[in-house]
Amino acid sequence: MSNKEKVKYPFGTITITEKAKSLISEILSAKRLSQGKYVREFEKRFAEIIGTKEAIAVSSGTDAVALSLAVLYDFGAKRNDEVIVPALSFIATANAVLQAGFIPKFVDIKRDTLNINVEEIENNITEKTIAILPVHLMGKPAEMDKINEIAKRYNLYVIEDAAEAQSATYKGKNVGTLGDMAAFSLYIAHIISTVEGGIITTDNENFAEILRSLRAHGRACKCDVCVLNVNTQYCPKRFSYNTDIRFIFERVGYSAKMNELEAAVGLGYLEVYDEIYYKRLENLNYIRKKFEKFREYMFTIEQEDYEQLAPYAFPVILAEKAKFSRDELVHYLEKNGVETRSLFLSIPTQCPGFKFLGYKMGSFPEAEYVGNNGFHIGIHQDITKEQIDYFIDLVEKFIVQHK
């Protein structure tokens, strides 16, 4: 067996910097592990990167979506109002809508972009629609100009699911600044990670205050910086309600705080963010160019002149004329050391948990096609050109065998 045949191609990685290790040691020694000064520092620096006034750290990307939606109750939303979502996404998008107390109204996608088909949004708006939740799937920005135009026409909120799109840009603006709020995942596979975790960005200070309440059970205690958490100072607001403000609950909330250890890992990432981003971008550009020769059999998403894809992962969709199945190709790759992940499913028709909504197979043909014929691989900062070449060689050999 040659050296090339022994190459392993892992899907994900995590970078734990020396700074992160030092902060973790300090936090453990101080025994102040719950949300405190390092979470706040991470929030401020993340907001600076995205370009928003506010960033609110939470316990997962799913919670980031759910809490963003739950904010809308303070502005007239009602239980079982509807949220427009693409049929194709990681399941967390739709789960979060239900967890927030709303109903997902699914819209098909465009196969070549993996994102919501904006031409079908208006047909799915009803008197119960409260928001549009576009997903920038695989780091490809959704058509935000058209989405925002529709939202304005119907007086709807726009919340970006930017879980996979940190660092992407659309017409000169950062993803995360294109709607009323944006929800990011900070899971291990992502460009910035806190191991587990999520974060919400917004320019609306009222939204930010409500989010700080929601992540802590709906508490009235929702200051930007909590002196009790940071350094145990006296809080003049604590008994302003004639009882402890920490036990006044203004709204139905969640238990969704980020802890200091996660923030320490995130701060380590921010220290080397440029290095990670450019390495991943180099890998994305390299694999995209190498992959072009397979266009007859399979394709990936394209990058338009007005956008920059986030270097999150590399998606592959089989062409209709391919003489092999996605599962055959994936099995071959996995057997030879290349880790893969499905390119998700049509949530309303291919995910049994959503059968209760009553959608029938065939209702979302583009999402269903990708669900049957798509997969993705990692392009993270620990992937080398040798590993990418190995993947390309494997695909080429597979195609030759199946012509």
* Per-residue pLDDT tens over the stretch 232-269: 566 666 666 667 766 777 899 999 999 999 999 999 99
Indicate the DSSP class of residue 312: S
Residues 93 and 170 in one domain: yes
**Confidence band of 403 (pLDDT split at 50, 70, 90):** confident
Arithmetic mean of pLDDT over the chain: 94
Q: Is residue 1 part of a domain?
A: no
Higher pLDDT, 394 or 7: 394
Residues 203 and 73 in one domain: yes
For residue 35, the model assigns a pLDDT of 83
For residue 1, the model assigns a pLDDT of 40
**Is the predicted pLDDT of residue 26 greater than 80, yes or no?**
yes
**Quick one: 248 exposed, middle or buried, by C-beta within 10 A (0-12, 13-18, 19+)?**
middle
Q: How many CB atoms lie within 10 A of CB 143?
A: 19
Residues 101 and 34 in one domain: yes
Residues 174 and 101 in one domain: yes
Phi-psi region of 165 (alpha: psi -120 to 50; beta: other; left: phi over 0): alpha
Strands of 169-170's sheet in order across: 173-174, 169-170, 307-308
Q: Is residue 250 part of a domain?
A: yes
Residues 157 and 83 in one domain: yes
For residue 100, the model assigns a pLDDT of 98
Residues 168 and 281 in one domain: no
**Is the predicted pLDDT of residue 195 greater than 60, yes or no?**
yes
Mean pLDDT of 296-325: 97
Q: Is residue 8 part of a domain?
A: no
Query: Of 217, 247, 271, which one is at a domain's C-terminal end?
Result: 271
Residues 218 and 358 in one domain: no
- 3-state secondary structure at position 147: helix
* pLDDT per position as a tens digit, 343-388: 999 999 999 999 999 999 999 999 999 999 999 999 999 999 999 9
Domain holding 355, by residue range, is: 273-401
- Structural domains counted in the chain: 2
CB 102 within 8 A of CB 69: yes
* pLDDT per position as a tens digit, 133-162: 999 999 999 999 999 999 999 999 999 999
CA distance readout (Å), 388 to 172, 291, 322: 30, 10, 22
Residues 304 and 184 in one domain: no
Residues 236 and 282 in one domain: no
Q: Is residue 97 part of a domain?
A: yes
Mean pLDDT of 122-138: 98
Mean pLDDT of 297-306: 97
Q: Is residue 95 part of a domain?
A: yes
For residue 225, the model assigns a pLDDT of 62
Query: Of 233, 256, 271, which one is at a domain's C-terminal end?
Result: 271
| CATH code where residue 233 lies | 3.40.640.10
For residue 41, the model assigns a pLDDT of 97
Q: Is residue 253 part of a domain?
A: yes
Query: Of 255, 271, 287, which one is at a domain's C-terminal end?
Result: 271
| CATH code where residue 340 lies | 3.90.1150.10
- Here the tokens at position 159 are 């919340």
**Confidence band of 227 (pLDDT split at 50, 70, 90):** very low
Tell me the CB-side half-sphere exposure of residue 340, using CA atoms within 13 A: 25
Q: Is residue 91 part of a domain?
A: yes
Residues 250 and 393 in one domain: no
Residues of the chain by 3-state class (helix, strand, coil), percent to 5: 40, 15, 40
* Helix (H), strand (E), coil (C) string for 360-395: CCCCCHHHHHHHHHEEEEECCCCCCHHHHHHHHHHH
Q: Is residue 38 part of a domain?
A: yes
For residue 219, the model assigns a pLDDT of 87
Residues 220 and 349 in one domain: no
Q: List CB contacts of 88: < 8 A, sequence separation 6 or more.
A: 109, 114, 137, 343, 344, 345, 346, 347, 364, 366, 367, 370, 371
Report strand pairing: 157-161 vs 129-132: parallel
Residues 377 and 248 in one domain: no
